[in-house]
Amino acid sequence: MKLKAILIIFLSVFILSGNSHAQDQIFKKNQEVIECKVTEIGTDYVKYFLPDYPDDVLFSIDTDKIRKIVFASGKEKYFIEELKNPENYADNKKNALKVDFISPLTGNTTFAYERSLKPGRSMEATLGIIGLGIDINDLNQAGAFMKFGYKFLKSPDYYYKRMRYGHLLKGSYVRPELAFAYYSYNTQPDFFGGDQERKSVLTMALHLIVGKQWVFDDAFLVDFFVGIGYGFSDDGQPQYSYGYVVSAPEVPVSATAGLRIGMLFK
């Protein structure tokens, strides 16, 4: 019994001794690790003691400089910049359905769907129905175009405490975009009165879009954008593809612009 009691006392002392030397670890974003004893975690600062300094010397570090804290118990706490913290946008509607306000006047109707993926990023898909609009030149056009883009919202030049986006879908942005169009139309009679023909066209384009989107009361939005890039048409002629313009193949430039209005939903 005495031997058993001695072993228990020895193990208890060993465990207590190990715990007394266990340290918390603060992992900074610059890869530096601080071995310390964390005493307080606030909104803006973390306070801690260092083992090589007197007990009355208290240090602090800005939470924006910390990637995570690993406590002596093994538990971990991660830190996220307030601007990119999803919890700050929990009440924002993350989806939007938009329509191009001007498109019916140009012979098509364009719809777009946008979804926020995380703060500062969203994806957008666009469908244009060619022929669903005013046919000014009696071309009897029919077809569709599609666009797929990935949006990067502009972040602030300077950061302040508790800063956040006004809304997940609001602000200036850059959007790389891939576009396709396939449609047919009636050609106009030539100078000598030739017959009309039915012509089919396939076009493609890669654009870099810049724009700005305004959100009102987390319910209504206005989106204005312009873009330029590369494009081509399979018939080798400049084409207005309803969602964008493609120039002649000698200079394969494409351009686009739009004014959209829409509604937000969860």
In this structure, the answer to whether residues 74 and 194 fall within a common structural domain is no
Residues 97 and 44 in one domain: no
pTM beyond 0.95, yes or no: no
Pairing of strands 24-28, 33-41: antiparallel
21: left (phi over 0), alpha (psi -120 to 50) or beta: alpha
Parallel, antiparallel or unpaired: strands 95-100 and 245-246 = unpaired
- How many structural domains is the chain composed of? 2
**Domain check: are 137 and 238 in the same one?**
yes
According to the model, what pLDDT value does residue 78 have? 92
Q: Is 179 in the same domain as 205?
A: yes
- For the chain of 266 residues, list the mean pLDDT of each consecutive stretch of 10: 58 48 88 95 92 92 92 92 88 97 95 97 98 90 97 84 87 97 86 74 97 97 98 91 93 96 97
Q: What is the pLDDT of residue 3?
A: 62
Of 42, 61, 79, the residue that ends a domain is 79
Last residue of a domain, one of 59, 79, 99: 79
pLDDT of residue 11: 54
User: Residues 101, 230: one domain?
Assistant: yes
Claim to verify: residue 46 and residue 149 sit in the same structural domain:
no
Q: Do 66 and 171 reside in the same domain of the chain?
A: no
On whether both 184 and 219 belong to a single domain, the answer is yes
Instruction: Name the residue among 254, 170, 137 with its Cα closest to residue 205.
Output: 254
Give the pLDDT of residue 5: 59
CATH of the domain at 239: 2.40.160.20
Claim to verify: residue 75 and residue 104 sit in the same structural domain: no
235 near 201, Cβ under 8 Å? yes
SS (H, E, C) the chain: CHHHHHHHHHHHHHHHHHHHHCCEEEEECCCCEEEEEEEEECCCEEEEECCCCCCCCCEEEEHHHEEEEECCCCCEEECCCHHHCHHHHCCCCCEEEEEECCHHHHCEEEEEEEEEEECCEEEEEEEEEECCCCCCCCCCCEEEEEEEEEEEECCCCCCCCCCCCCCCCCEEEEEEEEEEEEEEEECCCCCCCCCCCEEEEEEEEEEEEEEEEEEECCCEEEEEEEEEEEEEECCCCCEECCCCEECCCCCCEEEEEEEEEEEEEC
Please tell me whether residues 261 and 232 are part of one structural domain.
Answer: yes
- Predicted confidence at residue 10, as pLDDT, reads 54
Domain with residue 65: its CATH number is 2.30.30
- Domain check: are 53 and 181 in the same one? no
d(CA 96, CA 173): 16
Within-domain flag for 10: no
Query: Would residue 189 count as lying in a domain?
Result: yes
**Can you give the three-state secondary structure of 164-222, one letter per residue?**
CCCCCCCEEEEEEEEEEEEEEEECCCCCCCCCCCEEEEEEEEEEEEEEEEEEECCCEEE
Q: Could you list the residue range(s) of the whole structural domain that residue 52 is in?
A: 24-79
Token representation of residue 90: 């929990």
Residue 141 lies in a domain: yes
67 shares a domain with 128: no
In a domain, 154, yes or no: yes
Say if 212 falls within a structural domain. yes
Tokens at residue 115, please? 């979804």
